[in-house]
Amino acid sequence: MNSIIISKPDKVLKGSIQLPSSKSISNRLLIMQALSGKKYKIDNLSEAEDTVLLQRLLEVILNCNAQNKVMELDTGNAGTAMRFLTSFLSMRQGKWVLTGSERMKQRPIGILAEAMNCLGASIDFLAKPGYPPLLIRGNELHGRELTIDSGISSQFTTALLLIAPYLPEGMILHLKGKTVSSPYAMMTIRLMQFMGAKIKIGKTRLHVSPGAYQFKDVDVESDWSSAAFWYELAVFSDDVDIELLGLQRDSLQGDAVLPVIYKNFGILTEFTDRGIRLTKVRKKIDGFYFDFTNFPDLAQAVIATCAGIGIRGRFEGVRSLQIKETDRLRALKNELEKLGIQVSFFGDGGHTDTLEIMPVKPSFPSGITFETYGDHRTAMALAPLVLKTGILKILNPDAVAKSYPYFWNHLKSVGFDIH
């Protein structure tokens, strides 16, 4: 689809939604399974485009004989596939070209490549230094201790941790800088420990002992990041009683902070034996501040929420949003300014660390068109604003397949008209 038109005759949000399973957990489990060389049972594996792609690429890698030829692997727009396969292929015999979409070629990977080379990997940049595509010559890795800047992407840290048990001496990883998305690194650690890895955790030091994963069957929990857009919808609705299935209170996901965030907006979260139930109470809020350093995937939904109710917002820790599937900060500025929202950036060294919004002359014109920039979270964060505009148009809506393939169908199931 090139575009869709969304409308809803009322502001009632009632029903039951089976949220997609976590692609973050799924993708980590797939790499761990591939490292083991064994098959084990992963129930509720994500059907997100990123996970399907990673699964297919791993099948190609594990079933091919790449000894005498160069194998090219295209990760498309999947950041986890690019980062995780960079470390995985470095210890897999053969010659590999790892490439991706044009946007992927603009997303930095030099920090990870440098760290891998310190372990004895052979990674060269085929175009712009520090960026894909990569030429990886797989071989036996060595080295035990290294330092990585953890202030750019938690996926660099995760890519190293996942392979660490399979290094002859394990790994001691020192983290420098202000760590971003630390809950994602902790997710990796908890999954590794569940599968038998021995890890000592310090404030800025992680020590992974050598060994192998001891597998157990695992059931992937539903995705808290995807729940953010339902919380946003709840804020814009007048009557709310919506059940989101599969979410867990004791979650591996840092984005399970959503109930705390949205309580500020009057959204109440009740945990049940099936997931969570959202209801709403009236609450006056004049402004909102939040630091997204550890929760970047929630930023767009929360910022759009504040814009939709016309309050001032200040949001720190958003630097990593500039190197996602699109420059998400620029995308938000472009689209929210269509509503009369003033969007300002603050930072230093050419990087934006803080975004502020101010409803200077807010308006919600019916039939407004939003661009998605090929980014799934941009599409899903802007769509709930239809409850303010009455009708809106979304360009390139298929972007949601990256993490939440059934998003539009789920909206239809609770009364939205989409065509």
Q: Is 273 a catalytic residue?
A: no
Burial 301-334 (b: 16+ CB within 10 A, else e): bbbbbbbbbbbebbbbbbbbbbbbbbbbbebbbe
205-208 and 417-418 as β-strands: parallel, antiparallel, unpaired?
Answer: unpaired
List, in sequence order, every beta strand (DSSP E) within 322-384. 342-348, 351-358, 368-370
Burial of 228: CB neighbours in 10 Å, binned 0-12, 13-18, 19+? buried
DSSP letter at 71 equals: E
For residue 16 the two structure tokens come to 């039951």
255, 297, 327, 375: which one is catalytic?
297
DSSP string, 241-306: EEEEET--SS-S-GGGGHHHHHHTTTEEEEE-SSEEEEEE-----SEEEEE-TT-GGGHHHHHHHH
Task: Say if residues 254 and 192 touch (Cβ distance below 8 Å).
Answer: no
Question: What is the rounded CA–CA span in Å between residue 21 and residue 43?
Answer: 10
Q: How many residues does the chain have?
A: 419
Nearest to 304 by CA among 396, 235, 255: 235
Question: What is the rounded CA–CA span in Å between residue 206 and residue 198?
Answer: 10
Phi, psi (5° rounding) for residue 80?
-65, -40
User: Which residues lie closer than 8 Å to 295 by C-beta, 6 or more apart?
Assistant: 181, 183, 254, 255, 257
Burial of 32: CB neighbours in 10 Å, binned 0-12, 13-18, 19+? buried
Annotated catalytic residues are: 297
